[in-house]
A and B are shown apart, each in its own frame.
Chain A
């Protein structure tokens, strides 16, 4: 050991070369930038979308009240251009709501099964398959809706057309279930085992344990799982464009075709001349959509934070 000390006399502390110090600083800076970049991108996107939309607010053909309260969406009319998005907003919310009616029981049931009732081997397999389900591209889902599902719906329901709200919401539910299952399972896993042990010690059956102890204890996490599923469903574009029938109406039943905000932007932005009123109104619906998903995600986040504080 002392041999090292003698080999380099007078240099007790290692001096790193300057380039190494500099390199480290640069790498540190880069990492810091990638950390902050998410915020920058979100802000930049919001600013861009808002900047493109803003000029239409001053236009004489456009009124914000009409935008929110009229169902008449005639962006390319020859005589009378009208920009009412009420039908699109109702369409978005109704298809999401119906999707959640399917997805919440399925997703939460799956989460409970995975975390409480199933053996470790089956659990691993199921988790892999569920992750695979989450990885299916939305256009493939849309394709299934357009071909397989629409034929089934015409055959087994009284629907005149297979592409409708029910079709879209089944597809959306299938897309949201993996998210709800994996986040819901995490939430249930986070409940301390002492809760389970206490319950069992009091003589509760497994089912009683689940709905008397675990569900109340994990309710914030489960709510967050559902909200993230909602966020997924609201923002989904391709699948609903293909499966919902793309009709501007307020639906009277679940077999009516509808159009969502996202699908409307996807279908029309390509043809709207850059800078035209139609183009700007589409960006305004983008702002609206952005606000909706932001609120949904924010509330999910606040709910999760509530879990942590406990």
Chain B
């Protein structure tokens, strides 16, 4: 009997509790339908609210909006990432409704993102290439527009303990170029105190860097770098490594100097005096390896992006360029 009864147990159980369950369902029904209709209302309300924004998103004025605040996506050059962040922070106090998101990665990374159309402004410490302009046109149907936001003298750094004060472009190329003949400091007549092995430690940048590109073009005359250099991921890392290594030499933005390193004067042609990287020598173009800091956008900037760029080109933005250690635009080139 016990055996026969056991399988029936669940069924009996179900029968006994069937009624309360139904009742409970019944009870639930009313509030649920209420909830559902209020949900629909909420969604409709949201959609109505969002309609203007959806329209705004499709006209490609860039900058995306959410909850009343506009976000500008800004990406690219590691040389410029410090100044770009300073701009973004300061701009919060100028226009609270605009939020600028800044990230680095290298000029190449920024321009690649601009070509894909995923960012609003690309920072680049090199000029955009023809090929990249074509790609952007093909991909997004828009022309790339450029703004110069300041200048940077590409400084050549050595450790503070290094007695060298100036270096010729030719020597610099001899150190960095593929099959270059200069591998030891003694070849330049330099003796670094406290160093036995005076092999030159070359500090370079990863190949997505605009600084890398610029150095290759201006110093190496488009030839390749000798392999075996320490390729750092950021401007700051280059200077830090040079500051920690007695026999190192590296190139980076002039804004990254610290107490462990010194910047060399650059001699353009033999016999000429060396030129130190300063604001003055950058603006009057006597410093041979200076470059512009560029902002690239797709099409003519509109709305928040335009306001932001105008602000960067104004006195307020240019003061930040100077404070970050770069060279601001001359007064007559600024935005009034």
B15 near A163 with CB under 8 A, answer: no
| Interface stretch of the complex, out of A114-122, A178-186, A240-248 | A240-248
Interface residues of B in 128-174 (CB under 8 A from A): 135
Interface: A35 (CB within 8 A):
no
Task: Tell me the complex Cα distance, A2–B6, Å.
Answer: 9
Chain A binding surface, main DSSP class: loop
Q: Given A160-B201, A161-B241, are A273 and B135 neighbors across the interface (CB < 8 Å)? A: yes
Which of these, B14, B135, B216, B228, contacts A78 with CB under 8 Å? B216
Residues of chain A within 8 A (CB-CB) of B2 are 1
Bin the interface of chain B by size. 35 or more
Which of these, A3, A12, A247, contacts B228 with CB under 8 Å? A247
Interface: A8 (CB within 8 A):
yes
Residues of chain B within 8 A (CB-CB) of A274 are 116
Which of these, B10, B15, B230, contacts A245 with CB under 8 Å? B230
Closest A residue to B135 by beta carbon equals A273
| Interface stretch of the complex, out of B61-69, B104-112, B255-263, B293-301 | B104-112
Residues of chain A within 8 A (CB-CB) of B207 are 75-76, 268, 271
Q: Quick one: CB contact mask for B103-129 with A, threshold 8 Å, 1 for yes?
A: 001101100100110000000000000
Closest B residue to A267 by beta carbon equals B206
Interface: A72 (CB within 8 A):
yes
B244 near A154 with CB under 8 A, answer: yes
B201 near A12 with CB under 8 A, answer: no
| Interface stretch of the complex, out of B44-52, B81-89, B219-227, B279-287 | B219-227
A5 near B1 with CB under 8 A, answer: yes
Task: Tell me the complex Cα distance, A8–B246, Å.
Answer: 93
Q: Given A14-B11, A245-B230, A271-B106, are A161 and B224 neighbors across the interface (CB < 8 Å)? A: no
Residues of chain B within 8 A (CB-CB) of A249 are 227-228
Q: Quick one: CB contact mask for A260-288 with B, threshold 8 Å, 1 for yes?
A: 00000001101101100000000000000
Interface residues of A in 221-262 (CB under 8 A from B): 241, 245-249, 257, 259
Interface residues of B in 170-210 (CB under 8 A from A): 196-197, 199, 201, 206-208
Interface: A11 (CB within 8 A):
yes
Interface: B278 (CB within 8 A):
no
Residues of chain B within 8 A (CB-CB) of A4 are 5, 8-9, 12
Q: Quick one: CB contact mask for B7-21 with A, threshold 8 Å, 1 for yes?
A: 111111011000000
A161 near B106 with CB under 8 A, answer: no
A267 near B105 with CB under 8 A, answer: no
Task: Tell me the complex Cα distance, A11–B224, Å.
Answer: 87
17 A-B pairs within 8 Å (CB atoms) are namely A2-B5, A4-B12, A5-B5, A7-B8, A14-B7, A14-B10, A71-B227, A75-B207, A78-B222, A79-B223, A247-B229, A257-B230, A267-B208, A268-B208, A271-B112, A271-B208, A273-B112
Q: Which residues of A contact B (CB under 8 A)?
A: 1-5, 7-8, 11-15, 71-80, 87, 150-151, 154, 158, 160-163, 241, 245-249, 257, 259, 267-268, 270-271, 273-274
- Beyond A4-B8, A7-B15, A270-B112, 20 additional contacts (C-beta under 8 Å) are A1-B1, A1-B5, A2-B4, A4-B9, A4-B12, A5-B1, A5-B5, A14-B10, A78-B216, A78-B223, A154-B244, A158-B196, A161-B230, A161-B244, A246-B231, A247-B229, A267-B233, A271-B105, A271-B112, A273-B135
